[in-house]
Amino acid sequence: MNYKVWLITGATGELGSQTAELITKNSPNDKLILTGRNEKKMEEIMQKLDDLIQTKKDEKKEIHHLSFITDLTKEGNCSKLIEFTISSFKKLDVLISCGGISEKEENFVQFLKLSEWDEVFQVNFRSVVDLVQQSIPYLKETQGNIVVVSSISGKIPESGAGAYCCSKAALNMLVKVLALELGTNMIRVNAVSPSTFDSSMHSPFFDTQSQYNKFLQNVQQNTQVINSNISALDIANSIYFLASPQAKSITGMNLVVDCGVSLKNSIEFLNLEDENSN
């Protein structure tokens, strides 16, 4: 089989859908399994991919992409997803985990209910562990690779988002442990950690689009070293690179895509230390 099979979770979000489009454009012979919870958005994404493939009606259609609507936090659904992938395309080469949520509203750890911690960890961490466990036997056969979407919040603490930060920090360590454990099987495991970008994860926290746009502008101008807009496509390009043969010598790494936000935080921390020492 001279094609790769990609499985993308969180495919109805900005990063998952952009990554699917990027793969379709750059590797049109490859096969995609897309999964998410929003059926309407999934239909829109599948139509976009159909348009990119541009299959003529009078030609025999070759299946390029399939969708699987499911909630991966529910017991048994990760196993069903992998079974669907293998029954559809006979193998699995690349697992890309793009799903993720944050707290429904900003809240200090002191006031965050344990049920909210559980919900965030179930989506951001435990479902990833479950899916990876189900995928490993098939990735061993193809010497495939795994890319998970983390966040700079897993490296830099963010007040009011304790559960999200901790779940992403756990994900970062999972990547390193998996890279150690699976390296002998020639399976690479890496993460991509973006900073704030235009995303439906952030917009619900604002009453108006104007407020949200002002927030994005403030992030760009005041927290980034490079005053440039970070797009979902920028992050998708990083995901695609890590999953490609060009990154064959890279494993256990966390590629930060943040226009220097984490660097600036380090600089500010060092400046604070200097001030305290005077």
- The residue among 117, 118, 249 whose CA lies nearest residue 179 is 249
Taking residues 148-157, what's their average pLDDT?
94
pLDDT for res 218: 75
Taking residues 129-153, what's their average pLDDT?
98
Taking residues 104-118, what's their average pLDDT?
90
| In-domain check, residue 265 | no
pLDDT for res 262: 84
Over 90: is that where the pLDDT of 10 sits? yes
Residue in this structure with the two tokens 């990547």, named with its chain if needed: 175
pLDDT for res 202: 62
Over 70: is that where the pLDDT of 200 sits? no
| In-domain check, residue 220 | no
| In-domain check, residue 207 | no
* Helices and strands (H, E) in the chain, number of each type: 9, 7
Report pLDDT digits (tens) over 252-265: 999 999 888 888 76
Sheet holding 254-257, edge to edge: 65-69, 31-36, 5-9, 94-97, 145-149, 188-194, 254-257
For residue 131, count other CB atoms closer than 10 A to its CB.
24
Q: How many whole angstroms separate alpha carbon 140 and alpha carbon 215?
A: 44
| In-domain check, residue 185 | yes
pLDDT for res 210: 78
CB 78 within 8 A of CB 72: yes
pLDDT for res 20: 97
Over 90: is that where the pLDDT of 193 sits? yes
For residue 271, count other CB atoms closer than 10 A to its CB.
10
pLDDT for res 52: 92
| In-domain check, residue 192 | yes
| In-domain check, residue 277 | no
Residue in this structure with the two tokens 């012979």, named with its chain if needed: 29
Q: How many whole angstroms separate alpha carbon 77 and alpha carbon 69?
A: 10
pLDDT for res 58: 40
Structural domain harbouring 98: 5-200+229-260
Q: Residues 6 or more apart from 30 whose CB is under 8 A from it?
A: 3, 4, 5, 6, 23, 64
| In-domain check, residue 188 | yes
The structure tokens listed for 213 are 């746009």
pTM confidence score: 0.88
pLDDT band at 148 (very low <50, low <70, confident <90, very high): very high
Over 50: is that where the pLDDT of 267 sits? no
| In-domain check, residue 234 | yes
Over 70: is that where the pLDDT of 140 sits? yes
Report pLDDT digits (tens) over 57-88: 444 467 899 999 999 999 999 999 999 999 99
- H/E element holding 137? helix 127-142
For the chain, what is the domain count? 1
Between 7-21, 96-110, 262-276, the lowest mean confidence (pLDDT) is in 262-276
Read off the CATH number of the domain in which 157 is found.
3.40.50.720
